[in-house]
Chain A
């Protein structure tokens, strides 16, 4: 936490910044409160804590998926607390990459089309983009599985496809929500190596939600969300 944050305009190197943020889900007792928080560009941040403490909520606030009840959130120099829904969607689509615990691949698309999902949604898939997707898939070791549908891929392969989908548009912020939660230890190591390698290659900020303390040594910062959340009495 950094209580001495200055204007985001003056701190170009700071990519994520929160000030006096409050968040709660309607009808629930959970509450997240952050007085001040900032991370520099290229930082690798692990969000830890027990289930229900607000790790995913905090990551989603950074990614513009959730809007704070109060306070200010800047990410990649964009004021997410003031942004319209369309601006937030544009922000996520173009500047943020997501990797989920359940992979969240579309079952009716091939691995290649899943990687190219954003381009499909935009209505254009250029030949260059397709080449780029194939190159990326080859780099993470699923180049030979591009024509397969998710149902025929192993867990590790699915997560690698999901990582390719998250990285194809070269995001400046990568949010991974327990990406190794469903993987065995060997595959977990493999995926973590892959994620860090790609994050290093792209130089993006990496925020990962995890329960696995064995992985924390790979991160620059570790934030225990119990410190910023609370359960209010009914």
Chain B
């Protein structure tokens, strides 16, 4: 290559140590803003899309943001609960389809269960819901089937990859408290399906029927039929006030729901009082949406939120923070520009005799400028390219390797 660009490239190559140092400096300065912008853009798109795909959300009054993050991304410490009757009230009002969400427990591969008692092993959220959720999110099973029965679980694509799970493997619920066998109940859950990846938080979650989640809650359980048990230490022969045989605490609960014992599982108490984290309402029409929102607008204990509006608020906050970051970026850019100006100045001084020779030989006046300018342009172009590539790689790592805060890693 000839011309001032060719000479600049030769000069950069000849002084490759200096060139590499400047390149590294520029790349490091550029990689952070590029990565942050890429991630923010991706988050914004993903958040808004997921928010828009969730029409209305019923939850207990409290933090609106926590409720949305918990229900859409299975994250946050949102602890307020609604009960099944709240969801039933929505159903009975005829506003639309109601999808229950129970997001309290976490699961891990059965093989890790023993170690997990004492160690903080990687796990995944267990989402108790119904089949309507899969329709709403457009989720389908890449392998196996959806969780049609009590005790079945389907795993998101990333969970399957992370834990190396296939059909027939088992998950086990994580005890809420280590070293507390009296309180903790671990249910062994078979994997009956693996969901096709859809690039959302669903990839990093495990789904089961909401009744399975209630079993993990301890509300429902299974055990041998008490009327057939002869051991008097397991069952008291006398009946309670309703004429039902009463089991003693010694009677062991089943640890796994199988096709053979599924019928032995039952729930005690009124299902209306069973807990849910939240419920998604898919209104039949805009009119129903408006009426439902109006009805719950004045409810003192429940929210009926539009998640997209909450996410817009969150993004507004994030973008306000980003403006501070942008101000900082401006200062970094100015300092980098000054640094580059210093480099040019020193370079021009070091190359004074060379530029003088070019002047004597009759090189056009602009030659000196372009010799120096091309070096800066080339270094900036390469460092931008490197920073962009690094940013894309980091972005890919964050989005595909579950490093995101909002991916329910």
Chain A interface residues toward B at CB < 8 A: 65, 85-86, 88-94, 96, 98, 100, 104, 106-109, 113, 117-125, 149
- Whether A93 and B362, one on each chain, are in contact in the complex, defined by CB atoms closer than 8 angstroms, is yes
B319 close to chain A: CB less than 8 A: no
Contact partner of B2 (CB less than 8 A), chosen from A65, A94, A108, A124, is A124
Cβ of A88: which chain B residues have Cβ within 8 Å of it? 362
Contacts beyond the supplied A89-B362, A94-B362, A108-B14: 5 A-B pairs with Cβ under 8 Å:
A86-B365, A89-B363, A106-B7, A121-B367, A125-B2
Q: Is the CB of A85 within 8 A of B362?
A: no
Asked if A121 contacts B4 (CB within 8 A), the reply is yes
Is there an interface contact between A98 and B14, defined as CB atoms closer than 8 Å?
no
B358-375, CB < 8 A from A:
358, 360-365, 367
**B364: A residues at CB distance < 8 A:** 86, 89, 121
Given known contacts A93-B363, A108-B15, A120 and B353 CB-to-CB distance under 8 angstroms: no
How many Å lie between the Cα of A124 and that of B358 in the bound state?
16
5 smallest CB-CB distances across A and B, nearest first, come from A93-B362, A92-B362, A108-B14, A123-B3, A104-B357
A124–B4 CA distance with the chains assembled, in angstroms: 10
Number of residues of chain B lying within 8 A (CB) of chain A: 21
| Complex: chain B residue closest to A94, CB-CB | B362
| A89 / chain B contacts, CB cutoff of 8 Å | 362-365
Q: How far is the CA of A66 from the CA of B7 in the complex (A)?
A: 27
Residue from A94, A98, A107 in contact with B360 in the complex, judged by beta carbons closer than 8 Å: A98
Contact assessment for A113 and B362 in the assembled complex, using a CB-CB cutoff below 8 Å = no
Bound: A232/B4 CA distance, A: 43
Check B6–A120 contact: CB distance below 8 A. Answer: yes
Chain A residue contacts of B353, Cβ below 8 A: 104
User: B349 an interface residue at 8 Å Cβ cutoff?
Assistant: no
**Interchain CB contact under 8 A, A108 and B363:** no
> What A residues does B2 contact at CB under 8 A?
119-120, 122-125
Provide the residues of chain B in CB contact with A85, threshold 8 Å.
Answer: 365
Say yes or no: A109 contacts B10, CB within 8 Å. yes
The interface residues of chain A lying within 8 Å CB-to-CB of B272 are none
Q: 1/0 contact trace for B1-21 toward A, CB 8 Å? A: 011101100110111000000
